[in-house]
């Protein structure tokens, strides 16, 4: 099973990341979507979509008339995958930031991998199980070196992560 892990699009999605969604079984967005059009693009590209709400996913920051779609986004999600469980939350409610990985592990001890966003900084912490992963920002805002995402390939025996980063130069949304 192949999953595209992304976060922090804030209403814009890098086209290279959308292309990766076309080769994924499921796209998993860890919040701060910014616009329901992002969800429509991901759902069209991927077979399935799992999304959680971020701190910027509010009626004031989404296009008018989309409050109903926004209200349907949960704060957390869990996916049963071959070989373990993936837990997803945005991460803004896990403070202090310096202890975020250990606090996420305490919140989701039965997970094999915890996906979060919020910081816009790509991180793969596989020092212990559960792994804690931030795919980085998949849009234009605070990308720290380019739009980013991570692909997870999961089977019952092995999980593999591959990080991606795409330049913003030349991308005109």
pLDDT digits (tens, 9 = 90+) for 57-107: 999 999 998 888 888 999 999 999 999 999 999 999 999 999 999 999 999
CATH code 3.60.21.10 for 2-166: yes
For 109, the enclosing helix (H) or strand (E) is none
Q: What is the rounded CA–CA span in Å between residue 1 and residue 152?
A: 8
Cα 114 → chain centroid = 10
Residues 133, 162 contacting (CB under 8 angstroms): no
- What is the per-residue pLDDT for 171? 82
Please tell me the pTM assigned to this model. 0.96
Where do runs of H (alpha helix) occur along the chain? 15-21, 36-45, 67-71, 100-107
Handedness of CA 121, 32, 4, 72 (dihedral sign): positive
Q: What is the rounded CA–CA span in Å between residue 148 and residue 167?
A: 9
| pLDDT tier at 165, thresholds 50, 70, 90 | very high
Residue with tokens 């920002």: 137
User: Poorest-confidence range of 39-48, 136-145, 164-173?
Assistant: 164-173
pLDDT digits (tens, 9 = 90+) for 109-152: 999 999 999 999 999 999 999 999 999 999 999 999 999 999 99
CA neighbor of 139 nearest in space, from 12, 53, 42, 32: 12
- What is the per-residue pLDDT for 68? 85
């Amino acid at each position: 099973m192949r999953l595209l892990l992304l976060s922090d699009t804030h209403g814009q999605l890098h086209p290279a990341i959308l292309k990766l969604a076309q080769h994924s079984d499921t796209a998993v967005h860890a919040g701060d979507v910014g616009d329901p059009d992002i969800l429509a693009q991901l759902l069209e590209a991927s077979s399935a979509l799992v999304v959680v709400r971020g701190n910027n996913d509010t009626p004031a920051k989404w296009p008018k008339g989309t409050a109903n779609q926004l209200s349907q986004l949960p704060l957390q999600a869990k996916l049963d995958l071959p070989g373990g469980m993936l837990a997803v939350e945005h991460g803004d409610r896990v403070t202090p930031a310096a202890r975020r990985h250990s606090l996420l592990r305490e919140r989701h001890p039965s997970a094999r991998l915890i996906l979060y966003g919020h910081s816009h900084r790509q991180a793969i912490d596989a020092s212990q199980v559960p792994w804690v992963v931030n795919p980085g920002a998949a849009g234009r805002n605070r990308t720290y070196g380019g739009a980013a995402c991570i692909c997870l390939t999961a089977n019952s025996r092995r999980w593999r992560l591959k990080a991606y980063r795409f330049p913003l130069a030349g991308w005109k949304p």
